[in-house]
Every structure is written in C-alpha cells, then in structure tokens.
Amino acid sequence: MTVFMGEFTVTAQGKVNKRFWDKVAAKYAKQPIADQESYEHKLKVTREYLTPETRMFEFGCGTGSTAILHAPNVEHILALDVSDNMLAIARDKAREAGVQNIDFEQSTIENFTGHASGFDVILGMSIVHLLVDRKAALAKVYALLKPNGVFVSSTVCLNDSMGYLKPLIWMGRMIGKLPYVDFLRKTELIADLREAGFEIEYEWQPSTGKVVFIVARKSAV
C-alpha cells in the first residue's frame, strides 16, 4: 500500500533523503563532533552493554565513526546507511583503522529484511527523528533484537525546543532540498518505545533542548 505524506509518497521521500545525504557526505565527514563530552558519555554507557560475543546492528550509521569505535568491544557489527557516499567514507575509515569486523550495507531500517531476532544490541544514533514511519521502525527494531537485547538511541526532539523551525523544514522538503525530519517531543518518543514493547532502562539529556539518549530493553521472553 502506498502511504502519502502531503505531496510525497514514502518511496519518493526516501529518494530525496538518499540524494541529500549522498550530496552532503563529504562535508558531513569533515565536521567535528558538536558536543564531544556528551558523545564520550554516550560511548561509555553503550560499552557497558557490550561483550566480546555481542552482535551489533546499527542503522543510519553515517560515516561509520561510532561503529568503528565500538568494533573492538564486540564480535561483529552490521551497519546500514541510505547513502552510498556515506558508506564509501565509512569503509575507508574502517580500513584505515584496521577494523575488520564491520559489514557496511546500503539500506534503511524500513527496507532491511534479514537477521530476525539476531542482534544483542541495536544502535540508532541521530536517526529516529529522520524516520518517515517511526512507530513501524521501532517495532522492527524490537523484532530484530534477541530477547533481553537493548536498543541504544540518541534523538533530536525538535518540538521540545525548536518547533519554530517546522515551516522552514517543511518548505525544504516540499522543494526536495531537505530530508524528512520529524518534529517530536521526548514524551512522544518514550511513549512510542514503550508501545513497541521496550522498557526504558536509561535516559539521559545533558540539558533542556539537547538530544535525548535512551537505552531501551526488550523483554527476556
């Protein structure tokens, strides 16, 4: 069934998203991390859930930086991104770092079909607010996790502090210049995670208006 979003179908929006991220990949790769201290904290918390036997899955992996940093602590990582250009940079970075336990694949969480209930940890960093059908994607993440597995996410909740940007983002989408961006609140995100079946195990936000970092656990049975 075709799902419509204003003048776009989901498929059409997906093509716009890919074009956008392919175009900005090189510039994106050169940008420094905006908040290094917060990034390090999220890495530290995530590592507490990793073991040498962990099979990790990341969707929206971008240029692979986070996956590469976690690679020494896990058995294997499957990392997806919609952008071929992002993935080309990610593969180069992994090769330069001598990392061999990451497979990079061009796909989205919506289109990914393999490894049902096969992952111990799933990462969704700076990606949930870019999903066209957030609830369906979270349900899929839940299904892809092993029992007692965890979903680690870091999400921009724009409606909590920057709702005034919505008309500008909408206009950019309508003319095909910007990717889909969902204006959600932290309360909505947490409600959707719980609706998908997750229990919130850890929630952290460095300050009001900043990204929301959440570790959510799938039930053990």
Dump pLDDT digits (tens) for 61-107: 999 999 999 999 999 999 999 999 999 999 999 999 999 999 999 99
Class of domain 4-217: alpha beta
* pLDDT value of residue 210: 76
Q: Are 105 and 82 in contact (CB under 8 A)?
A: no
User: Per the confidence metrics, is the pTM higher than 0.85?
Assistant: yes
Q: Which residues of 1-26 are buried (b: 16+ CB within 10 A; e: fewer)?
A: eeeeeeebeeeebbebbbebbbeebe
Residue 27, amino acid:
K
Q: For every residue of the chain, which 3-state class applies, written as one string?
A: CCCEECCEEHHHHHHHHHHHHHHHHHHHHHCCCCCHHHHHHHHHHHHCCCCCCCEEEEECCCCCHHHHHHHHHCCEEEEEECCHHHHHHHHHHHHHHCCCCEEEEECCCCCCCCCCCCEEEEEEECCHHHCCCHHHHHHHHHHHEEEEEEEEEEECCHHHCCHHHHHHHHHHHHCCCCCCCCCCCHHHHHHHHHHHCCEEEEEECCCCCCCEEEEEECCCC
Q: How far apart are CA 69 and CA 55, in angstroms?
A: 15
Q: Are 100 and 77 in contact (CB under 8 A)?
A: no
Dump pLDDT digits (tens) for 96-141: 999 999 999 999 999 998 776 689 999 999 999 999 899 999 999 9
- The rounded percent of the chain whose pLDDT value lies above 90 is 68
Tell me the two tokens of residue 200: 């919130």
Q: How far apart are CA 61 and CA 79, in angstroms?
A: 6
Q: In degrees rounded to 5, what are phi and psi of residue 130?
A: -105, 5
